Amino acid sequence: MSVTVGVATTGTDPNLRKTVESSIRSASLLSGDAEVMVVVNGGNRAAGLHGIDSPMLRVRYLDRANVALARNTVLDEARYDTVLFVDDDCRVPLEWCSQLAAALSVPDLVAVGAPVDIPVSGPVSAYAAYLRMYDAISAGPDGPLLLVTTNCGLRRDRIPTSIRFDDTTAGTEDTYLSLALGKAGLPVRWLAEATPVVHGFPDGIEGLTRRFLRNAQLGVHHYLGQGFADAAIPGALSQYRQRLEDKHQYARGFAEFLDAPVRTAFSVFDAIVGALVVVGYLDQLGTDLGHPLLELDHAGLNRAWLNLAERVHERTAGLSQGEWAYPRVDYESMMDRLGEPEPLLALVPAALRRYASPIPTDPDGPVGDLLNHGIAEMTANYVDLLGRCRRVFDELRAGVEPVTQPALDRLARTVGVSFKTAMDAIEISLRIDKLRLWRQAVNA
């Protein structure tokens, strides 16, 4: 079996050469006639490719700057039916092509996703790395695996020609493809044991805020424009109003970390990300419906996040890069650190109330119908999720295997959720237990 490695690029990323050269090395170990197809979209040159003298390299230029169109060009023109995708700012391991190609040789399997590592240089990249930000996750317990083109593979010959990347969106075209594969009932597999691709990530809050705000906005497009209910946020306005409270009951404390500065950074970044997901969704939903839902001041909100990130850096300045890369963690003693106050968290709802306050809407009209989509099932589903995640956590603690992030990630996927979702649920369930024990002690 041979493969086509597809790289979509504008030609300007300084890491493009590293990506292409590592892809060629990996492909050459699989087959001497494999190809690395680079599609430069929106230009006619790519300086990073200059001097790469390999018969495996094939370069296509597109006038239009559109990453989805570039990836569809790979699918349409690839020499082989096994097509592997990687972003233009990654480094792939030598065994990458062989591992993904072997997995895709399984009969009927149409696609695979595999892990992505993020090199850590400070608190923001540490947060992104811990939550496995570029890993493919499921769209809910019963939803399809949402592939990420940072590291995935497809069998073109097993996918209908009507299913391709959506070239009307920029940034979540892989989500559209995944939802379409799921809707068609086509099997997609997660390769937990594959060697990760390494994807760079800047250690600034802007990298987080731009990514999650954009993805939430495009989620509305997938929901309203393309009919994928999996992309909707149930009870979005109700969820958002909870986030406006000074003490959001579901705010994550990251009690698994032993060092308070790590808990501070991660809890603040997580509160920002969680808020932006709902802000972006509500803002775009209101725009598409012609019924504004938020009084949104983007510039003011961005300034608030930058100022809050500065406060986090001041509070965590004592930690070295190595301590961020390998923070001390103990999942089994999480309950001991639950309930510890984090004053900086109050600045998140304060910023939301000032720069993104809700506009009253008609709960009985069509706007209310969309806002309340799935809200009846949301509470029951969440209680079920808490129970399932807590059971796998307790089973792991009762077993002989150490309670580690990889073990928790593996068990979370058996429940059908991401590592982040599982850890959120586990912490909430432990918090409920701690409150119950406190009440019992008070009433004794």
Q: Single out the residue of 76, 79, 50 nearest to residue 62, CA to CA.
A: 76
Q: How many Cα atoms within 13 Å fall on the side-chain side of residue 311? A: 17
Cβ atoms of 80 and 101 closer than 8 Å: no
Edge-first strand order for the sheet with 90-91 is 90-91, 197-199, 116-117
pLDDT value of residue 363: 61
pLDDT value of residue 37: 97
pLDDT value of residue 11: 87
Q: How many CB atoms lie within 10 A of CB 436?
A: 10
Cβ atoms of 348 and 308 closer than 8 Å: yes
Question: Phi/psi class of residue 243: alpha, beta or left (left: φ > 0; alpha: ψ in -120 to 50)?
Answer: alpha
pLDDT value of residue 130: 97
What is the CATH code of the structural domain delimited by 4-199? 3.90.550.10
Within the chain, which residues score under 50 in pLDDT? none
229-232's contacts with Cβ under 8 Å and 24+ in sequence apart are: 229/373, 229/374, 230/139, 230/140, 230/143, 230/144, 230/179, 230/182, 231/139, 231/175, 231/179, 232/373, 232/374
φ and ψ at residue 192, rounded to 5 degrees: -60, -30
Predicted TM-score (pTM) of the model is 0.92
Rounded-to-integer distance, Cα 99 and Cα 30, Å: 9
**Sequence spans of domains, the chain:** 4-199, 205-373, 375-444
Q: Single out the residue of 154, 148, 155 nearest to residue 196, CA to CA.
A: 148
pLDDT value of residue 364: 65
Rounded-to-integer distance, Cα 269 and Cα 355, Å: 18
Rounded-to-integer distance, Cα 215 and Cα 68, Å: 15
pLDDT, one tens digit per residue, over 329-376 is 999 999 999 988 888 999 999 999 999 999 876 666 777 777 777 777
- Three-state SS for 167? coil
Helix axes 347-355, 298-315, angle to 10 degrees: 170
Q: Which amino acid appears at position 88 of this protein?
A: D
